[in-house]
Amino acid sequence: MDESTHEGPPSRRAFLSHSLTAGAGLAALGSAGPGVAEARAVVADPPETLPISLTVNGRRRTLRVDPRTSLLDTLRKDLGLTGPKKGCGQGACGACTVLVDGGRILSCLTFAVMFAGTEVTTVEGLADGDRLHPVQQAFIDHDGFQCGFCTSGQVVSAVGLLGENPRPSREEIRELMSGNICRCAAYPNIVDAVESAAKGR
Ligand code: FES
Ligand code: FES
């Protein structure tokens, strides 16, 4: 039977034949020229570390980082700032939220080398000495947490939110905090806390 003309799903032999042809094409492309060779060299031998300098919680920090390291891992492992948490590591929970130049980001989804020259704020940088940030105090006053695992991300996110929108409605608070997941479901109290902090501003 002619493998190339029969109707219905391709036979195993035809599939293997097409695969081998495609493989040969890729092999030929791989030897096509110096551009491919250079790209392969970069992938095979990336620089081990790069120097970066950034300000974290008001303090200038200069360090060398693996360019593949997330900002979250750099903060936690290199700088000892364990306030930002690795809840999911893939952008779904908000536990790793930090501020960069005042804006909220998920530090698990970004490379540290992207933030050279920026100002990063973690939950550790919010209090003024012994005086808690108003949002931190509001979370305590309104029982905005139970286990506390999500709380540093919630608090930092709320600080960023109030920077974006100083007088949010309860609906806006719910919407703008929706990227921060709380497995304990402390949501009503979190909204109370953010609303209270906004009114106190
Ligand atoms: S740890 Fe970054 S979003 Fe979950
Ligand atoms: S307080 Fe437990 S996950 Fe939010």
For residue 89, give the ligand 1 atom closest to its CA. Answer: 1
**Do 121 and 193 sit in the same domain of this protein?**
yes
Does residue 151 form part of some domain?
A: yes
Q: What is the DSSP letter of 90?
A: S
Determine how β-strand 50-56 pairs with β-strand 103-106: unpaired
CB of 139 shorter than 6 A to ligand 2: no
CA of 173 to the centre of ligand 2 (A): 17
**Do 106 and 85 sit in the same domain of this protein?**
yes
Residue 128 scores a pLDDT above 60: yes
Is the pTM higher than 0.85? The answer reads no
**Do 86 and 170 sit in the same domain of this protein?**
yes
CA–CA distance, 58 with 66 (Å, rounded to integer): 23
**Do 58 and 155 sit in the same domain of this protein?**
yes
**Do 39 and 73 sit in the same domain of this protein?**
no
Does residue 3 form part of some domain?
A: no
38 alpha-carbon distance from chain centroid: 30
Does residue 5 form part of some domain?
A: no
Does residue 7 form part of some domain?
A: no
Give the chain's radius of gyration (CA, Å): 25
Residue 13 scores a pLDDT above 60: no
CA of 159 to the centre of ligand 1 (A): 17
**Do 121 and 182 sit in the same domain of this protein?**
yes
**Do 19 and 105 sit in the same domain of this protein?**
no
Q: What is the pLDDT of residue 47?
A: 72
**Do 165 and 92 sit in the same domain of this protein?**
yes
Which position has the higher pLDDT, 153 or 9?
153
Confidence of residue 46 (pLDDT cuts 50, 70, 90): low
Number of domains in the chain: 2
**Do 73 and 134 sit in the same domain of this protein?**
yes
Assigned token pair, 13: 């032999």
Average pLDDT, the chain: 86
**Do 90 and 59 sit in the same domain of this protein?**
yes
**Do 99 and 22 sit in the same domain of this protein?**
no
* Alpha carbon nearest to ligand 2 atom 2, residue: 147
Q: What is the pLDDT of residue 184?
A: 97
**Do 60 and 36 sit in the same domain of this protein?**
no
Residue 26: give the domain boundaries. 12-44
Does residue 33 form part of some domain?
A: yes
Question: Pocket of ligand 1, candidates 71, 90, 110, 123: which has the most ligand atoms within 8 Å of its Cβ, to mutate?
Answer: 90
- State the CATH number of the domain containing residue 101: 3.10.20.30
Does residue 137 form part of some domain?
A: yes
